[in-house]
Amino acid sequence: MTERFQTIGLIGKQGDPRVVGALQAIRAYLKDQGRTVLLDDGLTELPGPCPHPRVSRAELGQRSDLAIIIGGDGTLLSAARSLADDDVPLLGVNLGHLGFLVDVSPEEMTQRLAEILAGRYREERRFLLRARVLRDGDTVLESDALNDVVLHKGGVARMIEFDTLLNGRYLYTQRSDGLIISTPTGSTAYALSGGGPILHPTLDAMVLVPICPHTLSNRPIVVSADSEVQIVVKHGDDVAPHVSCDGQINTELRCGDQISVRRKERAIRLLHPIDHDYFEILRAKLAWGRTPENR
């Protein structure tokens, strides 16, 4: 019988010294289990010679049966965008703070790895958004986002104006600080702070959340994940708006630029421990209180 997850790629948060200890422990465990280990070449924190090959992120995605992400949710967001087309499952190990996406703690990572290598885990698929910016008919940005695509006003305290269309039909003209287009995964991030609803990860939907709208009747709207959202940048009161993907990729816009956002064809595969409980993580992250047994 062929063992699952024979080749495993390791990706860590760059510039964080806490990554070293977790990486050393994981790669030592995987070596004992007879697994082939690939290291993301962005990992520069490891001291001394390394017995495992360092490869580009693209090669890691092509060769790995599993990618382990060590860091926070932001590290996993970056990895998800770069690995989505390779259909490689992702497992997140946090660096001390429970995340919505990285839910394996350093203290339990070898135990959880043993369970996962033995086939005891939960797998879910999370869809991404594909954002495209057109300027005078030319594409100036094309990027994916697991959490959200955000139109925002940049660093100036003035509103921007834009039209929003849904599947080619006019929805509204808005004056605000911007608009968040979020997946269910991102509904617990920036969209939540803007007053948007929490969407369960299995929902086939996305949510449009205005950022500080001038007209208070502009409210969040939940639409089908099969929708195409189009935004046309209008007047900006001498403000240069920006569009960002997962808060990590940022591009300045001009008046007349068109932003198209739709679901990416490929989803990511996210692995969790067998006893993963989404609502337990919500309670912990959002401080909803404790269960009666733990009071």
* Residues assigned a catalytic role: 73
Instruction: Report which secondary-structure segment, H or E, holds 139.
Output: strand 138-145
Is residue 6 within 8 A of residue 38, CB to CB? The reply is: no
Apex 110 CA angle, 107 and 111, nearest 5: 90
Q: Which amino acid is at 3?
A: E
- What would the two tokens of residue 239 be? 């403000």
Residue 197 is given by DSSP the state P
CA 17 to chain centre: 22
Pull the structure tokens for residue 175: 């004056």
Q: Are strands 90-94 and 66-71 parallel, antiparallel or unpaired?
A: parallel
C-alpha Rg value of the chain to the nearest Å? 21
Bridge partner list, 161: 175
Task: Say how many residues make up the chain.
Answer: 295
d(CA 59, CA 80): 14
| Of 222, 146, 229, nearest in space to 185 by CA | 146
Q: Which two three-digit tokens encode residue 269?
A: 């595969």
The residue type found at 236 is G
3-state secondary structure of 20: helix
Cα 102 to Cα 93: distance, rounded to the nearest angstrom: 5
AA identity, residue 187:
S
